[in-house]
Structure 1
Amino acid sequence: MIQILQQTAGNLIAIKATGKLTVGAYAKLLPLLVDRFRQFKTIRWYFEMEDFKGWDAKALWEDIKFDVTHANGFEKIAMVGEKPWQEKVTDLMKPFTKAEVKFFKLTEKDAALSWIGLNGS
């Protein structure tokens, strides 16, 4: 499931992912992302993972297609999670984007939001 967080404003997209992401979840998220890319030159992304189990195959494919198409449109990506594999996924993203990408633990949510620029940073 994807929840769009209240911090979403301007070129900052803040979401929380729980469980396993499906194509249905992407159907909710993609219009928001496409709209923000139309409005802004670059996007800052806060992606929080709590009790996150990953992607089903179709959702993963949609994610990869979108990320490849928009790889240079991200300014910063804050990945916030609780599992070692989530930190590894964050590291795997780095060569495929010009964005600054950083992993934070769930206990570091405030630091992640500050780093992504929510608090004027």
Structure 2
Amino acid sequence: MLQFINDLEPHVVGIHAIGEVTKEDMEKVLLPRIDELVALQGEINYLLVLETDVQNWTAGAWWDDIKMGLKNFTKWSKIAVVSDQKGVQWFTDAFRFFVPGKSKGYSLAQLDEAIQWITAKEEQPVESK
């Protein structure tokens, strides 16, 4: 099941995954919110708190996740994945080499740190004249 994390800054989509994650969860919860965020600000800051094993994602959910990633390939600004699954943390850290944005993996004990990182707005460099 996917649930929104509601107490985040409006420029961040926060999702909490528990139990089985299905195609319907993706279509009713995550995909509309990602589309809305892209329409509003043109970029995606995404926090996923993964308190279920990745094997609990159905094939349909994985397929929708892949499609979402490709559809919005140039829109990813920051991705933070919070999980105690070491493979998930490692993959998230390595993912930064494959997408234009930044990605970081965190343990569940580091949730507050992940929220601080994902909600912090990047400073824009000042152009000199």
Structure 1, unpaired ranges of 5+: none
Question: Is 1:60 matched up with 2:56?
Answer: no
Match of residue 126 from structure 2: none
Match of residue 30 from structure 1: 31
TM-score relative to the length of structure 2: 0.83
- Give the aligned CA root-mean-square deviation in angstroms: 1.8
Question: More strand per residue: 1 or 2?
Answer: 1
Question: Is 1:7 matched up with 2:7?
Answer: yes
> Residue type of the partner of 2:17?
A
Shift of 1:64: 0.4
Instruction: Report percent identity of matched pairs.
Output: 27
How far apart are the structure 1 equivalents of 2:70 and 2:90?
Answer: 19
Match of residue 106 from structure 1: 108
Shift of 1:8: 4.1
Shift of 1:71: 1.6
How far apart are the structure 2 equivalents of 1:11 and 1:71?
Answer: 17
How far apart are the structure 2 equivalents of 1:71 and 1:101?
Answer: 13
Match of residue 21 from structure 2: 21
Question: What pairs with 1:70-109 in structure 2 (closer than 5 Å)?
Answer: 70-109=72-111
Select the structure of larger CA radius of gyration: 2
Structure 2, unpaired ranges of 5+: 123-129
Over 6 Å off, 4+ runs: none
> Residue type of the partner of 1:70?
N
